Amino acid sequence: MTVLEDRIAMAESDNTRQLDEMFERLEKMPVPEGYKVEIVEGTIYMSPQRDVHWETIREVLWALEDRFGRRSKVLSDVRIDFPGHLNGYCPDVAKLRDGAEKDAKGRWRYEDVEFVAEVISTDTGKNDYGPKKTAYALAEVPVYLIADPYVGKCRLFTQPKDGDYVSDLSVAYGSDVDMTTTLLGLVLSTGDFPRG
């Protein structure tokens, strides 16, 4: 290893240790039932899971299961540590590549994430369009979808490069999100996506 590789490995190890400590404390706290908790750039966010939120997640999950089968690695609200300072995200939906395995600590690796979908919440939407989008691009997540029930639109980000996405497509609810040119190879119908 080079000196630079050693420093990166040390920083990632320290980052993981700090995230572990933060999540351990959160597990001991009385987090209200039905709240999602994640850490974005070292700040803890708790947001309620509303029915509109969950119904949108289910629509995306069903589309992925229809395309890849029930045995595919599709997760919801499971911790995955992403690049950047203290980014312990729990994506609304994350699809992992075939053959993905947990690391030595029993966690999924961001390097195996092929697709992420986030459903906007009023209080945390800025994270989905800001630091989370940057972290997903840095992690080279090939396909990132944001569903926004408050404006009735989806944004599809593809082709990650240098911490951003080259392609940004906006699709109104009721239209199809065409992802046939991505590794997902599917068309996502938004006709049944609920509005907030």
Q: How far apart are alpha carbons 181 and 183 in whole angstroms?
A: 7
> Which 8-state DSSP code applies to residue 175?
B
Looking at the DSSP bridge assignments, the partners of residue 90 are: none
pTM of the model: 0.82
Which stretches does DSSP call E strand in 14-150? 35-40, 43-48, 74-75, 80-82, 87-89, 93-96, 113-119, 143-148
Give, for all 196 residues of the chain, the pLDDT tens digit.
453 344 444 445 677 888 778 777 777 777 777 777 777 877 777 777 788 999 999 999 999 999 999 989 999 999 999 998 888 899 999 999 999 999 998 999 999 999 999 999 887 889 999 999 999 999 999 999 999 999 999 999 999 999 999 999 999 999 999 999 999 999 999 999 999 8
